[in-house]
Amino acid sequence: MKGGKSISTAGFVCRLSAAAITTLLVLPYDVARADEGGISFWIPGFFGSLAATPQQPGWQITSIYYRTQVSAGGDVARAREITIGGIPANLTATVNARVNATANLGLVAPTYVFETPVLGAQASAVLLAAYGNNSTSLAGQLTGTLTTPGGAFPFSRFDSIDSSLSAFGDLIPFFQLKWNSGVHNYMTYITGDIPVGAYESSRLANLGLGHWAIDVGGGYTYFDPKTGHEASAVLGFTYNFINPATQYQSGVDMHLDWGVSQFLTKQWQVGLVGYLYQQIGCDSGSGNRVGCFQSRVVGVGPQVGYIFPVGDLQGYLNLKAYGEFANENRPAGWNIWLTFNLSPAAPTPPTPSRPRITK
């Protein structure tokens, strides 16, 4: 490390590696779902650097400001129209429209890190809550054929829909186990969605998912305190339960979040973050009128972190940003995460006393 300084693994607090603080994770569900309407439970980018490193036992609190701006057209716009009831079952239509969405969310995640090991690992439990605003619009032309008892008739309509909502999102419980062996760190987690947030199937903008979900996965972090080199990756899978309001069941999702960074000093960290999100199971259910509709998106961007004392506690501030590309059946754009973690500081090792010399 620069200047010959090294970082103790216990001497800093890693960023909260909780889940899915959805949709990780409950973020703007109707901003980004192929899964139903192109929206997934998992918000790509939730995990990042230091995901598997251990933390100090005791209570800590993490707050996150999340902002995203995305857009999509074609099949995503058509799927959103179907979900909100804009395209009745007797209308065969093509949609030349675009969906645009902007979300600003505040997330709070109280965490308890257990001191007693579980299966030789450090255990922690988190409950994530979110409040924020989702503004979504859809504009474009619908053309097709309307089938009635009297026959089939040409159909054309221009839609312009604006929807905005400020409300609470779903609750996300999260449990994880972490193992440490020198510079190698391993973790596993389980999380899920409790659908208590603001959701209406006929509304374009929502802050709730509308159905239960469960997500499991595992990860690895390489961290060398002597050099400050760090690299992390977390792979997870989401199983979505059927949405009772729409009778639509999203397929199984796979997500890979990663981060690499370098500690320039004991306080400053810089690096890159990224993600790959890929739906690997087809959508289904009696309410599915769009077919398999598998979604994909890739994101990458910079990050910077800073560790500092807060009285007897320790603060960690991290800023990361992603630009998205290679999307399919899902909106794409950009998003930023500003994370602040407040946790117990690592204990300072006692200074060894000098032996007394007697004549």
List per-block mean pLDDT (blocks of 10 residues) for the chain, which spans 359 residues. 45 38 39 63 92 94 96 87 84 87 96 95 96 95 86 86 96 97 97 96 93 97 96 97 94 97 96 97 92 93 96 95 94 96 79 53
C-alpha closest to that of 56 among 341, 266, 306: 341
Domain containing 197 — which CATH number?
A: 2.40.160.40
pTM for this model (two decimals): 0.85
pLDDT for the residue 28: 42
pLDDT for the residue 79: 87
pLDDT for the residue 356: 55
Residue 266 resides in a domain? yes
| Rounded CA separation 23/334 (Å) | 16
Residue 92 resides in a domain? no
| Rounded CA separation 110/62 (Å) | 6
| Rounded CA separation 216/232 (Å) | 17
pLDDT for the residue 157: 87
Residue 286 resides in a domain? yes
Place of tokens 């799927």: 79
Place of tokens 């973050």: 273
Q: Which two tokens stand for residue 9?
A: 């693994």
What does the longest C-alpha to C-alpha distance in the chain come to? Answer: 116
Residue 141 resides in a domain? no
Residue 85 resides in a domain? no
Quote the number of domains for the chain. Answer: 1
Range of the domain at 296: 2-72+98-135+167-344
pLDDT for the residue 1: 53
CA distance readout (Å), 318 to 244, 308, 311 = 38, 12, 19
Angle (nearest 5°) at CA 174 between 169 and 179: 150
pLDDT for the residue 91: 81
Alpha-helical (H) ranges within the chain are 74-83
pLDDT for the residue 116: 95
Residue 143 resides in a domain? no
Residue 313 resides in a domain? yes
